[in-house]
Amino acid sequence: MTGVAVIGSGNIGTDLMIKVLRLSTSLRMVAMAGIDPASDGLARAARLGVATTSAGIDGLVAMPEFADVGIVLDATSAGAHHRHAAVLREHGRLVVDLTPAAVGPYVVPPVNLDQHLREPNVNMVTCGGQATVPIVAAVAAVTPVAYAEIVAAIASRSAGPGTRANIDEFTVTTARALEVVGGAGRGKAIIVLNPADPPMLMRDTVYCLCPDSGADRERIAVSVREMVAGVQEYVPGYRLKQDVQFASTVDGLLVTVFLEVSGAGHYLPAYAGNLDIMTSAALRTAERMVALRAEVAA
């Protein structure tokens, strides 16, 4: 089994650790690094027998356990990841980046993971990107998408300091991923932090404007449903809220898809589907990256 280190002891990092410990048969949780010695994540890691440091990336590479780490999952911030990426590259470690830094290529597992398995550093885009890029790609697989717009609405309680610090990067990174990975000619992303109590589940609305007003609507709907099933393989709480909607406009065919994402409840509450889809995608990506290298070594 390949050793894993998680950087970031907040909600996302802690959920990642729990997922590795509970779900993975190919990854072994070795260390967690944070910068807040009083964080629940570091305390929980210590109770679970995972080596910890509150000295961040410098503390991680100085730990004797670091020698057993083959892949690092970074759940910090876009700003911090740039330095983390440089340090880990010097040490020859694989990296899965859960920040919007996008040092490496964007990866959305059911769309383009196979294309980037050999990369040393891959980026998980954003929660909105993981939820909506697959839908845009599904539509684009049937007919060109001139413009894609997504609205990601998440519970305010599920947006911690890291998520809030990355809000600006969220919109830019998600919009770019709609184009680069999803295949849209132009993309736009909007995020809404909903303060409702009790907290709402993550809701995503995807709009695709297709110039071909005569595009096969049934093929588009089938493609979307198949993509949803692909995401559900690693995010069971990902689902369509209703049938795919179609409307004829002066600019072409407007395809609208409504999604809901609930979390698995490993560490985070069910309403934090926005965080769960990121950690689930990261786990699948890390497992596939190490599996490829194990096959090559064999």
Q: State the DSSP code for 274.
A: H
Please indicate if the annotation marks 159 as binding a ligand.
Answer: yes
Please indicate if the annotation marks 128 as binding a ligand.
Answer: no
Please indicate if the annotation marks 263 as binding a ligand.
Answer: no
Among residues 31, 42, 124, 127, the one annotated as catalytic is: 127
CA nearest neighbour of 95 among 67, 65, 71, 126: 71
Do the beta carbons of residue 8 and residue 31 sit within 8 Å? no
- Does residue 127 carry a catalytic annotation? yes
Please indicate if the annotation marks 163 as binding a ligand.
Answer: yes
Structure-block tokens of residue 196: 């409702």
Please indicate if the annotation marks 52 as binding a ligand.
Answer: no
* DSSP of 36-83: -TT-HHHHHHHHTT-EEESSHHHHHHHSGGGGGEEEEEE-S-HHHHHH
Q: Give CA–CA dist 164/48, Å, rounded.
A: 28
Please indicate if the annotation marks 166 as binding a ligand.
Answer: yes
Q: How far is CA 254 from the centre of its chain?
A: 26
Please indicate if the annotation marks 185 as binding a ligand.
Answer: no
* DSSP of 13-24: HHHHHHHHHHH-
Q: Give CA–CA dist 36/42, Å, rounded.
A: 8
Please indicate if the annotation marks 160 as binding a ligand.
Answer: yes
Please indicate if the annotation marks 165 as binding a ligand.
Answer: yes
Please indicate if the annotation marks 158 as binding a ligand.
Answer: yes
Residues in binding site:
9-12, 158-166, 274
Residues in binding site for NAD(+):
9-12, 158-166, 274
| Catalytic (active-site) positions | 127
